[in-house]
Amino acid sequence: MKLLSKITTRTLDIFPVSVDTVLEIPVVSTAISAGFPSPALDFIDLSIDMNKHLIKRPSSTFYGRVKGQSMKDVGITDGDLLVIDKSITPKNDQIAVCYVDGEFTIKKIKFEQDVCWLIPANDAYQPIRVTSQNDFLIWGIVTHVIKAF
């Protein structure tokens, strides 16, 4: 199978996924309290394979690195890594990677009669009105966001 090379745009770098490797990471077997602390565990005996957890359909899944702040109010910020599934049927209010008139962008999608709106999550940006006059494609749906603190 031939792997795609990295695609670079102003708002997103897109990378193919590989599930050829397994990386099992230890996981705490109980819920982690966001309130009062739970008693400490003496050992962790479970693990999770992040490929299996994050990637349901490898042949249609890509990673994308975010450039910019247009989605900051939903927690997607510059440098975050997106997991994007191209096989998911787009629905209202999903976060999508879209191709509009030669550029990729990440926005929440909203469908109306003959129009699709691309809604940012940052008041500094305006919604984008997409009509049949635009070169437009919903490239994929964001399923996960991986961020570093």
Q: What residues act catalytically? A: 70, 107
Per-residue b or e along 56-89, where b marks 16 or more CB atoms closer than 10 Å to that residue's CB: eeeeebbbbbbbbebbbeeebbeebebbbbeebe
Tokens 């109306």 belong to 112
Find residue 47's DSSP bridge partners. Answer: 26
The Cα-based distances of 143 to 28, 33, 84 in angstroms read 23, 24, 6
CA 111, distance to chain mean position in Å, is 20
